[in-house]
Structure 1
């Protein structure tokens, strides 16, 4: 299963973020991954955390952030992300947030699907609040990008299933919020402390448009045969969603 969330914004005003991060977790253990949030909720927390509907990176203490991220690294979960350096975005795209957002999502999903050649239908869960763009157009674009764009015929990509879900009702979406926040913190604050925790689980990094890792697979050892068989150029695993709930 793939879960998506973002950190930052796609605005270009003086108060807008300098970077936009879209992160994904590819989890073979969604139940264990979701428990990273459940366990925190079950602990003795300050009163303010008991009244908020969901834990997020931005409203959590350093201790909570560290515990969630450490928990993620101890599950069978990979991380993929895109970072957009907004100062390099073409002027003609700055007022087309929908186009830009769909392109970023499509690029990341394409990279994931072509790297993890899924056995069966890949399920992609996205937060309902993701920029609020027209859902049908978003779904159609991601499906086209994943199945048709720049793929060789032998990949035989199956169209993914895209599920829009309220993050307050899905702890895995909340987990990927922490992951996106940790990545964003590295770029926006020049502080890799949270990023260093999750770095061993990062399998895909896409940097738009600078950096030595512009579009690459990192930590290829993560692409090991468990229930997944990757494309032949990677050591091979397929993602079997039929037994994952």
Structure 2
């Protein structure tokens, strides 16, 4: 079975907030997923300060440089592929800005097109996302995703789509550190310093880093 985790960094709101919206997928096989999901527990047991151990959900945004590097170095030792879309919100078309659910589906389509070509279509596929959609949005999204899968492979997909609360899913916790690394890179690129200090740790696992979407050619 192939497993894909999908996470986001930044926000899709177009008037305020971050300059970038980043959506990242991580693809691996079931055997590697066991090691992937074990990372948060390993790090909590590595003699972290009591204050850190009490944090309900370890996240890139609330973690020290040490913890971020501990996560990423473990990720770098697992057989997986990373695919990321980096959206400069200033360049996003107005018609998409005015309908965020359509924009989200469009971005998921572009991202998963990159991932699905690396999937064995005979395998069962599990896709795990953060639980941030209404029931109606979930239904529309799942129908949309299955239709896209069929259009790519011309077969009825054996796909299980899970919408999980991130702090209850160890895989999503780990994926947050990957997505957060891209967020750090692009949001600090204008500042002095090593903006890719985190993504460089997982560089060999990054298969797609697309940052030219919506740019004028």
Relative to the length of structure 2, the TM-score reads 0.87
Would the alpha carbon gap of residues 7 and 131 (structure 1) be closer, same or farther in structure 2, given more than 3 Å must change? Answer: farther
- Asked if 1:195 corresponds to 2:202, the answer is no
- Asked if 1:17 corresponds to 2:18, the answer is yes
**DSSP 3-state at the match of 1:22:** strand
CA contact (8 A) 2:83 2:114 kept: no
Alpha-carbon distance in structure 2 between the residues aligned to 1:45 and 1:110 = 39
Q: Which residue of 1 aligns with 2:185?
A: 186
**DSSP 3-state at the match of 1:161:** strand
Alpha-carbon distance in structure 2 between the residues aligned to 1:159 and 1:211 = 37
**DSSP 3-state at the match of 2:62:** coil
Higher relative contact order (CA 8 A, sep 6+): 2
Superposition RMSD on alpha carbons, in Å? 2.2
Aligned residues: 207
C-alpha displacement of 1:101? 0.8
C-alpha displacement of 1:6? 0.5
C-alpha displacement of 1:132? 8.3
Q: Note the residue ranges of structure 2 that are not aligned, 5 or more in a row.
A: 190-194
Deviation readout 1:95-154 (Å, 9 max, x if unpaired): 211111111112211221123333322110111136887211111112122222xx365x
Deviation readout 1:18-53 (Å, 9 max, x if unpaired): 111111111221110112211111122223322221
Q: Which residue of 1 aligns with 2:122?
A: 119
Q: Which residue of 1 aligns with 2:58?
A: 55
Q: Which residue of 1 aligns with 2:28?
A: 27
CA contact (8 A) 2:40 2:174 kept: yes
Q: Note the residue ranges of structure 1 that are not aligned, 5 or more in a row.
A: 213-245
CA contact (8 A) 1:125 1:163 kept: yes
Instruction: Tell me which of 78, 94, 107 is aligned to 2:97.
Output: 94
Map residues 18-167 of structure 1 onto 2, 5 A cutoff: 18-28=19-29, 29-129=32-132, 134-148=137-151, 151=152, 153=154, 156=155, 158-167=157-166
CA contact (8 A) 2:5 2:127 kept: yes
